[in-house]
Amino acid sequence: MESISYIIDTLYAIFAMTLIIFMVPGFAMLEAGIVRTKNVTAVLTINTLIYAIASLAFLLIGYSIAFGDFGSDSMSKWAAFMFQMAFVGKVVNIMSGGVSERAKVVPLAVFTVIMAAVLYPLVVNVTWGSNFLDGTILSLSMYDLAGSTVIHSTGGWALLAAILIIGARKGRYTKEGGIRVIPASNIPLVTLGAFLLWIGWFGFNGGSVGSIASKDNADAVALTIMNTNTAGLAGAIMVACFMQFRYKKLDLTMILNGALGGLVAVTAGPDLYDIYTPILVGAIGGIIVVFGVSFFDKIRIDDPVGALSVHLLNGIWGTLAVGIFASNGSDITLLGQVKGILLVAVFAFTSSFIILFIINKIMPLRADNDEEMQGLDVEECGLEAYPEFKRAF
Amino acid sequence: MESISYIIDTLYAIFAMTLIIFMVPGFAMLEAGIVRTKNVTAVLTINTLIYAIASLAFLLIGYSIAFGDFGSDSMSKWAAFMFQMAFVGKVVNIMSGGVSERAKVVPLAVFTVIMAAVLYPLVVNVTWGSNFLDGTILSLSMYDLAGSTVIHSTGGWALLAAILIIGARKGRYTKEGGIRVIPASNIPLVTLGAFLLWIGWFGFNGGSVGSIASKDNADAVALTIMNTNTAGLAGAIMVACFMQFRYKKLDLTMILNGALGGLVAVTAGPDLYDIYTPILVGAIGGIIVVFGVSFFDKIRIDDPVGALSVHLLNGIWGTLAVGIFASNGSDITLLGQVKGILLVAVFAFTSSFIILFIINKIMPLRADNDEEMQGLDVEECGLEAYPEFKRAF
Amino acid sequence: MESISYIIDTLYAIFAMTLIIFMVPGFAMLEAGIVRTKNVTAVLTINTLIYAIASLAFLLIGYSIAFGDFGSDSMSKWAAFMFQMAFVGKVVNIMSGGVSERAKVVPLAVFTVIMAAVLYPLVVNVTWGSNFLDGTILSLSMYDLAGSTVIHSTGGWALLAAILIIGARKGRYTKEGGIRVIPASNIPLVTLGAFLLWIGWFGFNGGSVGSIASKDNADAVALTIMNTNTAGLAGAIMVACFMQFRYKKLDLTMILNGALGGLVAVTAGPDLYDIYTPILVGAIGGIIVVFGVSFFDKIRIDDPVGALSVHLLNGIWGTLAVGIFASNGSDITLLGQVKGILLVAVFAFTSSFIILFIINKIMPLRADNDEEMQGLDVEECGLEAYPEFKRAF
């Protein structure tokens, strides 16, 4: 029986990991669809490099910082590694999307090494890992099943740091206080990417239960996946209703971001909710996206893909939601959740800011004006994304 | 051992469900690739909303109409729910594709609620579910493993009702009796979508066996998936040969629809056939698509994606095929199959027609002429699908 | 317990097979993105037909040539078949990509029948199958877990034969010795395709371990997938560094081909390496792609997608690598690997050349000049890939 559990959990971890890897093309397609055609290749290149670099850096350095060493009794240690490895790139994907159309590829690749080898592993260490803070006053009791804070907020704080250093895209905010709308260039890619992410989330959250090899665990896994999905549904529907009633336009990019917002929000505790609570958690997540996008534009934080609203704000909301809706009878407290959010916030923002600041001194993060106007594809990659298609402008 | 079955079947249902969810981007890409660029965002929006709305409506209302209540002894009840939930949106996807380029998003979304909450659950109730007709003269003995009738014909009848109410796209049929060819705008998307559907079918049909946790069931699942695939192969090859010999043109959209027609046709009984019968079932399915598309154009039923031929005609053919090829020694009869087809036809067509008729009175299903000429994307969604690409016309 | 193994291995084979089927849209998107817009539909059509024809030919004829008959004790024989069937089309996909933009669809479809029904099954017979050469001097002892030689080199040799018969694209090489760069038309599709292939590789190599139903096998499967992935990472990173230091341009198509080269290279022995060796195997694989692409252009072998470098050269390198890095204590020898490479090379190249030569006499493999200039889509398929998009040239 022990050996059966080992086998089934290994198979299950491989399955869950594979779904998460679908998020690599997921992020790539989503972001490539949102940016202008002149920056598409650069976005795809950094997404590809993030997966390659973050995964290898985590294999060589990060994993042992987070978890001590390769090892697992309950499943193959290689499957356990692959499952964790699949997470790493996501943190930087979240960040790279928000600085697209003006951040250069190579410095982002350098930052990826440091994030995947050191920064993210330290966050994991004190939340899911061996916890070097154990016994100290900073020791965390936050519940965060699959990373509303550990993954999404960490990536979001890194993004905020990056935007503060890099600034907005040229022409995005006018001197008169106006905001220039820059439409997504390829809506089918955005849609495809969003659904690949959605499906990947089943592996992300479902796999984070850690085992499927008992009746209780099988139920927990299935409930987790069901609740994850439900929050995505609710986020999409909430935003669709809002857009329709407010603007009479069903803005699809916003609806999809609403779904993703709901998915981020439920990620901290999908195993703890009954089957109806995720409707509320996800619907609020969708609304947070709508208002978050306006808010960041108002304060001139330029985030082309809405990553701050989807990942940072909803990462926070989702972690709080566990404290609000799932604290009865357990040792989860709203205070414990807040403490976790704050500690990760301070660490992730500060460390990312410092590292990015240093990188920026050595090799500018931002493309120069000519390159930005021309688009990053030609200068950075030597490849236009759609060279045969005539541009409308 | 019981607990092992429970675990394995839960894992298997989650796997199968995940494959089916790939059909969401599958339908979205297929349809977005077939319609003209000016209607792509609208098509993607309704596909997204169908998944969100149908799934949530099924969770809140439909599932208990179909099956009584959440519950399953043989696997996690949440996994059992998710598997069934993954089916629901498909019924409306089938329908929405066929009315694309002129049907408005919001009334289709309203219809989605009713279809997923009531109409489809009633069909499931009397076929796969608790069967409130049991003991009456209308009680069905139709064999339909994964929904040639329950899913595909139901969606197809709803589509026929919708087309009768909405009418053809402007300019599609000329007064002189001619048919204007409207070419697909993005063939790679069509191909991607078709293969995502194909892969999803493995989960759809394979998962419908219900269990993999015995040697016999493992064989039944593997045979089901193999036969499902074979019918798709045969449909594609048959249509390719036909197109090549008849027109000297390998029309890829027709070949892919031929594969999908074969897949629909085999869906009623892939577990019952030997490994060669699906070649015949699928090849006939392919031919039905070719002639069906011409037939519907001749009677001026305008179905841009060929859904009536793929899903309705092949749903009927597939259900009959079980009666023809798999009735020996079992209690499956051709008559029983015909009875099932007819009962579902009458119910699905009539109820859809009535609901759509009422919706149409309250909020017109059809875009007005200006909007249709301009394309639905700008008016409905406020987003062009490819704003930077210059149109050739 | 026996029955549990049977069930789990059936489920595992179905999972692995499904991932491999994602390589069908993977190859299709990759190749459709690389060729010019005027040849996209033709590329998608042949990819679709290859899957359909190769799979059906293998079902009807090839499988029994390779393995004797349908049968397996350790899992459902239908799952065992489906897993093997998923491989077949890949061999021809490798080949069709390299002759795209000038090879006609119908003769390639005819070649697909012969490759899948006879040639590839003969290669499998003497390597993984019943081995009719057993006991003769030609009997092989090559270790090739998932087909660096059996799949990738076989496809590569067939491609080389095809290019020698068909020749280069018009205008690719000038009389003055210049090489005209023909840029990829759709980089997002290339990226999507590459990642679908990458994910498919987890099933390809992981499934080739043959069983997951013991602790040792679960470890072997997980290690195989981990090492497979690592080689892909290393290939991508190596090429990215090379391109950046040498040209200051991160050519994404080359980076992705570097990843694929690493994946091909590791395929012969991912279960035999420790977790660091694949970094070396994959990095060398990436470099082989970079220099291979230049080399084949220098000798005027025109291969639009780089398939000879990715699949043929790395298939050879990967098979040698097993002999170099994994021969200690086992009966694997470098000599045995070389013998296998050579025997498959002679057979695959010669037989493909003869068959293609004969086909070419009956129906020319190459499109005529007008058709090539106009693009194959209109003449072969009657469908432009992007009819509404205005071409820049």
**Which residue of C10, C229, C256 is the best one to mutate when testing the A interface, meaning the one whose CB has the most A CBs within 10 A?**
C229
Q: Percentage of chain C surpassing pLDDT 70?
A: 99
- B-contacting chains (≥3 CB pairs under 8 Å): A, C
ipTM: 0.97
Looking at residue B125, its pLDDT comes to 96
Q: How far is C259 from chain B (nearest CA, A)?
A: 22
The pLDDT tens digits for B337-366 are: 999 999 999 999 999 999 999 999 999 999
Query: Is residue B328 predicted with pLDDT exceeding 90?
Result: no
**A186 to chain B: closest CA residue:** B386
The answer to whether A302 faces chain C, any CB pair under 8 Å, is: no
The answer to whether C48 faces chain B, any CB pair under 8 Å, is: yes
Asked if the Cβ–Cβ distance from C385 to B187 is below 8 Å, we say yes
Looking at residue C71, its pLDDT comes to 75
Looking at residue A72, its pLDDT comes to 76
Q: Are A188 and B26 in contact (CB under 8 A)?
A: no
- C-contacting chains (≥3 CB pairs under 8 Å): A, B
Query: Is residue C96 predicted with pLDDT exceeding 60?
Result: yes
The pLDDT tens digits for A266-285 are: 999 999 999 999 999 999 99
Residue A177 makes CB contacts below 8 A (sequence gap 6+) with: none
Asked if the Cβ–Cβ distance from B383 to A183 is below 8 Å, we say yes
Which residues 240-279 of A are in CB contact (within 8 Å) with C? Answer: none
State the Rg of chain C over Cα: 20
The number of distinct structural domains making up chain B is: 1
Q: Are B139 and B133 in contact (CB under 8 A)?
A: yes
C-alpha C258/C-alpha B84 separation (Å) is 42
Which residues 178-197 of C are in CB contact (within 8 Å) with A? Answer: 183-188, 191-192, 195-196
φ, ψ dihedrals at B103, nearest 5°? -90, 140
Residue C322 within any structural domain of the chain: yes
Asked if the Cβ–Cβ distance from A188 to B15 is below 8 Å, we say no
Q: How far is B212 from chain C (nearest CA, A)?
A: 7
C-alpha B97/C-alpha B159 separation (Å) is 9
Q: Structure pTM?
A: 0.98
Mean pLDDT calculated for residue range B261-275: 97
Q: Position of tokens 């304060």?
A: A299
C-alpha A363/C-alpha B202 separation (Å) is 49
Query: Is residue C391 predicted with pLDDT exceeding 90?
Result: no
Looking at residue C17, its pLDDT comes to 98
The pLDDT tens digits for C217-259 are: 999 999 999 999 999 999 999 999 999 999 999 999 999 999 9
Asked if the Cβ–Cβ distance from C191 to A25 is below 8 Å, we say yes
Q: Tell me what the pLDDT averaged over chain A comes to.
A: 96
**B219 to chain C: closest CA residue:** C76
User: Nearest Cβ partner of C78 from B219, B252, B391?
Assistant: B219
Looking at residue A70, its pLDDT comes to 81
Looking at residue B73, its pLDDT comes to 83
A235-263 in b/e form (b: 16+ CB < 10 A) is bbbbbbbbbbeeeeebbbbbbbbbbbbbb
The pLDDT tens digits for B59-100 are: 999 999 999 888 778 999 999 999 999 999 999 999 999 999
Element (H, E) at B84: helix B77-98
A69-78, B218-227, C31-40 — which is least confidently predicted? A69-78
Q: Which residues of C10-156 form beta strands (DSSP E)? A: none
Q: Which residues of C touch B233 (CB under 8 A)?
A: 51-53, 55-56, 59
**B22 to chain A: closest CA residue:** A199
Q: What type of residue is A224?
A: T
For chain B, helix (H) and strand (E) counts, in that order, are: 17, 0
User: Nearest to residue C184, comparing CAs of C74, C289, C101?
Assistant: C101
C-alpha B303/C-alpha B179 separation (Å) is 12
**CATH classification of the domain holding B119:** 1.10.3430.10
The pLDDT tens digits for C182-203 are: 999 999 999 999 999 999 999 9
The pLDDT tens digits for A25-49 are: 999 999 999 999 999 999 999 999 9
Asked if the Cβ–Cβ distance from C388 to B390 is below 8 Å, we say no
Q: Are B310 and B114 in contact (CB under 8 A)?
A: no
Residue B386 within any structural domain of the chain: no
Query: Is residue B329 predicted with pLDDT exceeding 90?
Result: no
Residue A386 within any structural domain of the chain: no
**Which residue of A12, A77, A78 is the best one to mutate when testing the C interface, meaning the one whose CB has the most C CBs within 10 A?**
A78
Residue C18 within any structural domain of the chain: yes
Asked if the Cβ–Cβ distance from C44 to B279 is below 8 Å, we say no
- 3-state secondary structure (DSSP) of residue C379: helix
Q: What type of residue is B326?
A: A
Looking at residue C331, its pLDDT comes to 85
- A-contacting chains (≥3 CB pairs under 8 Å): B, C
User: Nearest Cβ partner of B191 from C6, C18, C25?
Assistant: C25
Residue B393 within any structural domain of the chain: no
Query: Is residue A331 predicted with pLDDT exceeding 90?
Result: no
User: Nearest Cβ partner of A240 from B41, B49, B391?
Assistant: B49
| Banded pLDDT at B1 (limits 50, 70, 90) | low
Q: Which residues of C touch A391 (CB under 8 A)?
A: 392
Query: Is residue C150 predicted with pLDDT exceeding 90?
Result: yes
User: Nearest to residue C220, comparing CAs of C319, C287, C146?
Assistant: C146
Q: Tell me what the pLDDT averaged over chain B comes to.
A: 96
User: Nearest to residue A3, comparing CAs of B75, C5, B14?
Assistant: C5
The answer to whether C35 faces chain A, any CB pair under 8 Å, is: no
User: Nearest Cβ partner of C199 from A22, A40, A380?
Assistant: A22
Looking at residue C1, its pLDDT comes to 53
Q: Are C163 and C149 in contact (CB under 8 A)?
A: no
C-alpha C383/C-alpha B392 separation (Å) is 15
User: Nearest Cβ partner of B226 from C49, C53, C78?
Assistant: C78
Q: Percentage of chain A surpassing pLDDT 70?
A: 99
Burial class (CB in 10 A: 0-12, 13-18, 19+), A180: exposed
Q: Which residues of B touch C8 (CB under 8 A)?
A: 8
Mean pLDDT calculated for residue range B233-243: 98
Residue A216 within any structural domain of the chain: yes
| Banded pLDDT at A330 (limits 50, 70, 90) | confident
Q: Tell me what the pLDDT averaged over chain C comes to.
A: 96
Mean pLDDT calculated for residue range B204-227: 97
C-alpha B147/C-alpha B141 separation (Å) is 14
Q: Which residues of B touch A280 (CB under 8 A)?
A: none
Query: Is residue B107 predicted with pLDDT exceeding 60?
Result: yes
Residue A393 within any structural domain of the chain: no
Query: Is residue B177 predicted with pLDDT exceeding 90?
Result: no
Which residues 313-342 of B are in CB contact (within 8 Å) with C? Answer: none
Looking at residue C2, its pLDDT comes to 66
**A19 to chain B: closest CA residue:** B18
**A203 to chain B: closest CA residue:** B18
Mean pLDDT calculated for residue range A6-11: 97
Query: Is residue A1 predicted with pLDDT exceeding 60?
Result: no
Residue A16 within any structural domain of the chain: yes
3-state SS, chain A, equals CHHHHHHHHHHHHHHHHHHHHCHHHHHHHHHHHHCCHHHHHHHHHHHHHHHHHHHHHHHHHHHHHHHCCCCCCCCCHHHHHHHHHHHHHHHHHHHHHHCCCCECHHHHHHHHHHHHHHHHHHHHHHHCCCCCCCCCCCCCCCCCCCCHHHHHHHHHHHHHHHHHHHCCCCCCECCCCCECCCCCCCHHHHHHHHHHHHHHHHHHHHHHCCCCCCHHHHHHHHHHHHHHHHHHHHHHHHHHHHHHHHHCCCCHHHHHHHHHHHHHHHCCCCCCCCCCHHHHHHHHHHHHHHHHHHHHHHCCCCCCCCHHHHHHHHHHHHHHHHHHHCCCCCCCCHHHHHHHHHHHHHHHHHHHHHHHHHHHHHCCCECCHHHHHHCHHHHHHCCCCCCCECECC
Q: Which residues of A touch B32 (CB under 8 A)?
A: 188, 191
What are the DSSP calls for B280-309, one per residue? HHHHHHHHHHHHHHHHHHHTT---TT-HII
Query: Is residue C92 predicted with pLDDT exceeding 60?
Result: yes
Domain that holds residue C107: 2-381
